[in-house]
Amino acid sequence: MDNAQRKRQAKILRVSRKVHRTTGAILFIFFFITACTGLLLGWKKHTGGYILPKSFEGKSTNPQDWLPVHVLLDNANKIAREQISSDLSLELERIDLRPDKGMVKFVFIEDYWGVQLDLTTGELLHIERRRSDFIENIHDGSILDYFFETTGEQFKVVYTSIMGMALLTFTITGFWLWIGPKQFRHRNRGIAAK
């Protein structure tokens, strides 16, 4: 390896180190949040229903026994207003039908509340706080879309793009910071041997 090649490789190492360090410093808080929320989401099924609410079972898994969805929705709305808050917005994030359990979850947007009903009787099985949804929204940045009431998930797209590009940058510069010095030493040993 001639002197020009060594200088070029040393320069690449310096630039990689600077990009790696600067990106880490700028995005430290975001990486910390993403790591913590990722751990919580990984553990969610093993928290005894605290992060991810337990799914209860209804009386029948036979669809012919089930009440119509509009009847179940009316019942869920009534329960939400009576047992959660009379001011709770009834806007739904989703309806989560669990045919294998004979149960349906009505998940409300406001404050991450959910109501589980028996599909056959329409009876309340469980009122749940959807902590896992809240943690997921922090994890992927959509909490800002929720807070600012945006449509199209603009914050989520920008946040996940930045975090994805940062992770790719860390992977590339980190690999170079690991392999570059090894190559540098190996090539210098070859020159010294001559």
pLDDT tens across the length of the chain (194 residues) = 577 887 888 888 888 889 888 988 999 999 999 999 999 999 999 999 999 999 999 999 999 999 999 999 999 999 999 999 999 999 999 999 999 999 999 999 999 999 999 999 999 999 999 999 999 999 999 999 988 989 889 999 999 999 999 999 989 988 888 887 777 677 666 655 55
Angle between helices 3-43 and 154-193 (to 10 degrees): 140
* Cα–Cα distance, 102 to 100 (Å, whole number): 6
d(C-alpha 90, C-alpha 115), whole Å? 11
Separation of alpha carbons 15 and 177, rounded Å: 10
Residues in the chain, total? 194
User: Which pTM was predicted?
Assistant: 0.81
Is residue 169 within 8 A of residue 23, CB to CB? The reply is yes
The C-alpha atoms of residue 162 and residue 85 are separated, in whole angstroms, by 38
Q: Report yes or no: 116 and 125 within 8 Å, Cβ to Cβ.
A: yes
